[in-house]
Structure 1
C-alpha cells in the first residue's frame, strides 16, 4: 500500500485502501500498523486533521481492529 508522508510529531506516513477499507499508519519509530474496516470518511478526517496523532488516538485507536506489520 502506498502511504503519503505527513507532518506529525509521531506519524511518518498514512495510507488507505478504499476497496478493503484498510488504513495503514507508519510511525516515526518505524513501526507500521494496519487498521481494518475503516470508513473512507475516517481516513479523510485523519488526513485533514490539524493533528494527525490526536485524530488517530480519538477516532481510530480502540475503535478498529488492527495488526502490527
Structure 2
C-alpha cells in the first residue's frame, strides 16, 4: 500500500541505516536499525504507522536534507 507520508526508503545493512525520503521532500537517516526491524518495516501494511511506533521512539536519527 502506498504511504501518504513516505515517498521512498532505502536500507544500508552494512551500516544499519534506514533512509526515509518523505513526501514533503525531507530526508532522514535512522541509525543503528537492525536488519530484523527493517524487514518488519518493509513488510508492514502501514509503513508510516510502523515508523512512528517502532522506529522513531527507539532509534537516533540525523536530518540529511530539508524539503
TM-score, normalising length: structure 1: 0.89
SS in 2 for 1:29: coil
For structure 2, list consecutive stretches of 5 or more residues without a partner in the other structure: none
Give the unaligned 5+ runs of structure 1. Answer: 1-5
Aligned equivalent of 1:18: 13
Aligned partner of residue 34 in structure 1, secondary structure = strand
For the pair 1:67 / 2:46, whether they are aligned, the reply is: no
Number of aligned positions between the proteins: 64
Matched position secondary structure for 2:62: strand
The separation in 1 between residues aligned to 2:2 and 2:35, in whole angstroms, is 20
2:30 corresponds in structure 1 to 35
TM-superposed CA distance for 1:7, in Å, is: 1.4
Give the secondary-structure state (helix, strand or coil) at the position aligned to 1:55.
Answer: helix
- Structure 2 distance, partners of 1:10, 1:59, is 16
Runs of 4+ with deviation above 6 angstroms = none
Alignment of 1:50-61 (within 5 A): 50-61=45-56
